[in-house]
């Protein structure tokens, strides 16, 4: 405990906690929708696209990588979610295709053009989360805070519409809801969250932040509102615990958070089984 | 003028035409059944009526003060819905979404409308139950209540009794018949030709030959009597 209090006095630890918690909150909110729409893997796919874009940005030696990564990821998200319904290549296959292709090209480009002496280290840190979560500047923390507040506000304001579109897109469209616009909105928001979250857990583990809290909450609760709220709370708690554990035990941040998420899912699964046997 | 008038519709996916020369109209209080063999384009027709799909040619006009998005819709269940963690209340309320426009939350009027329609469908006691835990009949009632939140005029039902047992099927037909008597026009896709000719006022038969007219005319027509014979024969054999 003393050690924790000691660590808390360092600003970089506080920044990491703040950013981690905010990102976990945002990703879990949209996670419920994505899991239910059968887009669980979109986080994975988009983060690989972001990885590909990062390597291109690195090769082009852009000073502000975000200028390239964010638009590319947003466009991919829009294409993936939009063609989900009646595309020639179905949703899951499209995601898998883009995901591995982006990963492969990203690594190829880095390998061919890279000037860095520690290539494997670079790739590894982009894939599994770098230590950059521990080297955040106040400016980045503010950016993250502002974006997170925007995401939460969008989610609250459009909560009912997101529910209607998730549950039954055809019905919503037929009764005059502009489903295309909301799908587009969901796609853009998820792309933004993923680009933000790449610093935290890295490309390979991002899906965990999106799907684990949602799946855990679905085991326990029976209505959409409770599932959403519970998923947000679980996600925040897991992220906070994960970061604290990783600091205390010196483990990698990303994988520690995911491990905590997985453990919580197991607990929720078992709780759900008991509740199912008794309650229903 | 009729609620919906379709003239010389051709329907299909991409460039492939599945049904042609469909003309019919639905007026206030009508009970129209759409029948035809599998693959004859029944569901495509329904999607076109809901403006989810453009017809290849021909046109659909709405009249008698019916707005384009004032058609309630009872879809066939999708896989997504089977394990959806939502309460009946939330689902029924989502039927009011079209009324909201850009307003983010439901107002009191919409909440009471949802309550009213749950009462109408006899599912008030299920309001807080989870949709995925309900029986097939209860799920259909919940979706019907949602459709009623979206319309007071026309209901489109896509195979409303698919997968229900005979007792629940009969209840479902009674429920729909009751709504029709209250003045709501019904358009129903049905595999069940016996029920179709029993409850409907008009029949639209699509396929190689197209028929539209009152039930009595359909029973007396060649196309009607042979289709009924064929369907019943099929059932006896199977």
Q: What is the pLDDT of residues A147-176, one digit of tens each?
A: 889 999 999 999 999 998 888 888 888 887
| Contact (CB, 8 A) for A157 and A184 | no
| Rounded mean pLDDT, A183-198 | 85
Is B69 in Cβ contact with A174 (below 8 Å)? Answer: yes
Rounded mean pLDDT of chain A?
82
Exposed / middle / buried, residue B144 (Cβ in 10 Å: 0-12, 13-18, 19+): buried
Q: Is B73 on the interface with A (CB under 8 A)?
A: yes
Q: Is B130 on the interface with A (CB under 8 A)?
A: yes
Cβ contacts of B142 on chain A, cutoff 8 Å: none
To test the contact with chain A by mutation, choose from B86, B127, B187 the residue with the greatest count of A C-beta atoms within 10 A, namely B86
Give which of A162, A69, A55 is closest to A107, Cα–Cα.
A55
Most confident of the ranges A214-218, B106-110, B212-216: A214-218
pLDDT of residue B228: 80
| Alpha carbon separation from B124 to A109, A225, B151, B173 (Å, rounded) | 61, 19, 19, 20
B198-B95-A225 Cα angle (round to 5): 130
| Alpha carbon separation from A204 to A16, A117, A201 (Å, rounded) | 19, 23, 8
Is A223 in Cβ contact with B97 (below 8 Å)? Answer: no
Q: Is A227 on the interface with B (CB under 8 A)?
A: yes
Q: What is the pLDDT of residues B149-180, one digit of tens each?
A: 888 888 899 888 888 888 888 888 988 998 89
pLDDT of residue B160: 86
Of B52, B94, B130, the CB nearest to A164: B94
| Contact (CB, 8 A) for B9 and B60 | yes
Give Cα B31 distance to the centre of its chain. 10
Is A161 in Cβ contact with B73 (below 8 Å)? Answer: no
**What is the three-class DSSP state of B5?**
strand
| Contact (CB, 8 A) for A77 and A69 | no
Cβ contacts of A172 on chain B, cutoff 8 Å: 94, 97-98
Give which of B84, B196, B198 is closest to B143, Cα–Cα.
B84
Q: Is B38 on the interface with A (CB under 8 A)?
A: no
Q: Does pLDDT of A178 surpass 60? A: yes
pLDDT of residue A276: 63
Q: Is B75 on the interface with A (CB under 8 A)?
A: yes
Residue in chain B nearest A227 by alpha carbon: B85
| Number of Cβ within a 10 Å radius of residue B29 | 14
| Contact (CB, 8 A) for B14 and B24 | no
Q: Does pLDDT of B237 surpass 60? A: no
Of B69, B91, B104, the CB nearest to A175: B69
Is B133 in Cβ contact with A221 (below 8 Å)? Answer: no
Q: Is A219 on the interface with B (CB under 8 A)?
A: no
ipTM for the predicted complex: 0.84
Is B106 in Cβ contact with A160 (below 8 Å)? Answer: yes
Higher pLDDT, A118 or A47: A47
Of A38, A172, A223, the CB nearest to B86: A223
| Contact (CB, 8 A) for A32 and A227 | yes
| Rounded mean pLDDT, A93-103 | 84
Exposed / middle / buried, residue A127 (Cβ in 10 Å: 0-12, 13-18, 19+): buried
| Number of Cβ within a 10 Å radius of residue A35 | 23
Query: Rounded to a whole number, what is the distance in Å from the CA of B81 to chain A's nearest CA?
Result: 6
Higher pLDDT, B89 or B79: B89
Query: Rounded to a whole number, what is the distance in Å from the CA of A168 to chain B's nearest CA?
Result: 8
Q: What is the pLDDT of residues A241-259, one digit of tens each?
A: 998 898 888 888 888 888 9
Cβ contacts of B147 on chain A, cutoff 8 Å: 171
Most confident of the ranges A175-189, A198-212, B174-188: B174-188
């Amino acid at each position: 405990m003393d050690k924790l209090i000691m660590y808390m006095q360092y600003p970089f630890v506080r920044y990491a906690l703040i950013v981690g918690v905010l990102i976990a909150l945002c990703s879990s909110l949209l996670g419920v929708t994505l899991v239910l729409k059968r887009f669980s893997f979109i986080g994975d796919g988009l983060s690989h696209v972001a990885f590909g874009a990062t390597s291109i940005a690195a090769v082009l030696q852009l000073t502000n990588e975000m200028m390239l990564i964010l638009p590319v990821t947003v466009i991919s998200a829009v294409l993936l979610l939009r063609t989900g319904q009646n595309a020639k290549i179905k949703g899951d296959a499209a995601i898998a295709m883009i995901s591995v292709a982006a990963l492969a090209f990203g690594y190829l480009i880095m390998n061919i053009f890279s000037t860095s002496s520690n290539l494997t280290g670079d790739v590894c840190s982009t894939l599994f989360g770098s230590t950059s979560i521990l080297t955040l500047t106040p400016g980045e923390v503010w950016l993250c805070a502002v974006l997170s507040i925007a995401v939460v506000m969008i989610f609250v304001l459009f909560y009912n519409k997101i529910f209607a579109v998730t549950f039954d897109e055809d019905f919503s469209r037929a009764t005059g809801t502009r489903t295309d616009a909301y799908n587009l909105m969901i796609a853009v928001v998820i792309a933004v969250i993923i680009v933000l979250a790449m610093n935290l857990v890295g490309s390979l583990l991002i899906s965990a932040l999106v799907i684990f809290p949602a799946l855990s909450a679905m085991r326990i609760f029976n209505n959409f509102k409770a599932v959403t709220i519970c998923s947000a709370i679980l996600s925040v708690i897991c992220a906070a615990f994960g970061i604290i554990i990783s600091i205390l035990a010196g483990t990698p941040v990303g994988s520690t958070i995911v491990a905590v998420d997985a453990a919580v899912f197991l607990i929720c699964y078992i709780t759900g089984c008991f509740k199912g046997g008794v309650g229903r | 003028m009729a609620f919906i008038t379709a003239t010389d519709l051709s329907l299909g996916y991409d460039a492939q035409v599945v049904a042609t020369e469909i003309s019919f109209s639905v007026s206030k209080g009508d009970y129209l059944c759409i029948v035809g063999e599998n693959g004859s384009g029944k569901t495509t027709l329904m999607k076109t009526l809901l403006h989810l799909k453009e017809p290849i040619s021909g046109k659909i006009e709405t009249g008698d003060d019916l707005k384009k998005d004032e058609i309630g819709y009872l879809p066939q269940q999708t896989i997504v819905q089977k394990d959806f963690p939502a309460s009946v209340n939330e689902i029924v309320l989502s039927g009011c979404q079209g009324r909201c426009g850009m307003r983010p939350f439901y107002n009191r009027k919409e909440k009471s409308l949802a309550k009213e329609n749950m009462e109408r469908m006899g599912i008030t006691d299920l309001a807080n139950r989870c949709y995925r835990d309900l029986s097939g009949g209860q799920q259909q009632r919940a979706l019907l209540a949602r459709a009623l939140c979206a319309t007071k005029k026309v209901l489109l039902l896509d195979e409303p009794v698919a997968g229900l047992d005979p007792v629940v099927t009969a209840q479902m037909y009674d429920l729909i018949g009751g709504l029709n008597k209250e003045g709501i026009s019904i358009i129903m896709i049905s595999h069940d030709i016996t029920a179709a000719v029993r409850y409907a006022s008009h029949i639209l038969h699509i396929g190689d030959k197209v028929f539209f007219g009152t039930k009595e005319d359909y029973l007396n027509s060649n196309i009607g009597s042979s289709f009924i014979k064929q369907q019943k024969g099929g059932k006896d054999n199977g």
